[in-house]
Amino acid sequence: MNFIDSDAVRDLALVLLLCGGLLLALMRPRSTRRRIAHRARIAAMRADPHPPLRAEEHVADLWQRLLKRFASLGERVPVGGAAQRNKLAEQLVRAGFRERRAVSMMIGFKLLVGALFALAAIVLGPYVPRIGEYFVFRALMMGGVFIVGMMLPELALNMLISRRQQAIASCLPDALDLLVICTNAGNSLVVGVKRVARELKTICPPLADEFAVTGDELQVSGDSAGALRHLAARIGLPSVRALVTTLIQSQQYGTPITHSLRMLSRAERTAQMMALEEKAAKLATKMTMPMMFFILPTVGLIAAGPAVIRLIAVFK
């Protein structure tokens, strides 16, 4: 009679036990596994309450702290009146900055740039020839440089506004065509604006952002005319004002907006083509001075240079 080895039986039982535990772990409900993972994360956070941040998160956190410092500086220092702050807030909105404390951040940034320029004037003032020796001229130079430093952020903001408006104006006819397609498909104004915003997200992010905000305002508030006027005020382009006027009139009088939108799209494309033709017509006039100062002397040197060199050699 063959007897089974007890060690083999014990090993077989251990293997079966491990396999059963593995099957139970795999068959455990997903919620239980999530609960265990959540408990493990909580235990890890308790062990290390300040986990190391990644490079992108560290840069974003540092940028948020700097913006908060700028905002606190702008709130503490009373620069400009209410009208000036309202104008600055309108410019920031047109540039795409809609944060609650954007005006304070901009004022703090202006003060910082002006202070840096003034510090540079203090350091480099004594090295200015003739006038650097006098304290009065150094003080006047410091004040002037401080004012120039405070004006530079506004100039940069105006450049951002113009670039953003140019991008919106170039993509507005395509947006109008998409809006015509949405209205022909039977969509409402809210659905059409949101769909156009989704389609333009990769083509023209500024216009897509403005349409998305307008769609949210149309969906939340019942005042569609007010939401459309806010769109025209945020962008600040005559073509957008014409679009808003057309949409408001069509809603007031119940007229179809498809034909009006097509006419607006055609007019925008015609205006862009006329602007390009005007630039092309001005190109010849603008090229006159560079040709006279840079191209014509070079051609003269190439043409008359050998003759002049020969004459010099002969007369020597």
Nearest to 170 by CA among 241, 260, 273: 273
pLDDT for residue 218 is more than 90: no
Q: Once rounded to an integer, what is the mean pLDDT over residues 173-201?
A: 87
Q: How far apart are CA 175 and CA 215, in angstroms?
A: 14
In degrees, rounded to 5, the angle at the alpha carbon of residue 219 between the alpha carbons of residues 255 and 242 is: 45
Q: How confident is the model at residue 7 (pLDDT cuts 50, 70, 90)?
A: low
Q: How far apart are CA 285 and CA 292, in angstroms?
A: 12
Instruction: Give pLDDT tens digits for 223-263.
Output: 788 888 888 888 888 888 888 888 888 878 777 778 778 88
The share of the chain scoring above pLDDT 90, in percent, equals: 3
The residues, ordered by sequence, that sit 6+ positions from 92 with a Cβ below 8 Å of its Cβ are: 98, 102, 103, 106, 157
Q: How confident is the model at residue 2 (pLDDT cuts 50, 70, 90)?
A: very low
Q: How far apart are CA 227 and CA 232, in angstroms?
A: 9
Q: How confident is the model at residue 27 (pLDDT cuts 50, 70, 90)?
A: very low
Q: Which pLDDT score, from 0 to 100, does residue 98 have? A: 83
Which has more confidence, 46 or 112?
112
Instruction: Give pLDDT tens digits for 140-166.
Output: 888 888 888 888 988 999 999 999 998
Q: For residue 96, report the phi and psi dihedrals to the nearest 5 degrees.
A: 100, 10
Q: Which pLDDT score, from 0 to 100, does residue 69 have? A: 67
Which has more confidence, 6 or 159?
159
Q: How confident is the model at residue 11 (pLDDT cuts 50, 70, 90)?
A: low
Q: Which pLDDT score, from 0 to 100, does residue 31 have? A: 46
Indicate the SS3 state at residue 169: helix
Supply the mean pLDDT for the chain. Answer: 78
Q: Count of H helices and E strands in the chain?
A: 13, 0
Q: How confident is the model at residue 57 (pLDDT cuts 50, 70, 90)?
A: low
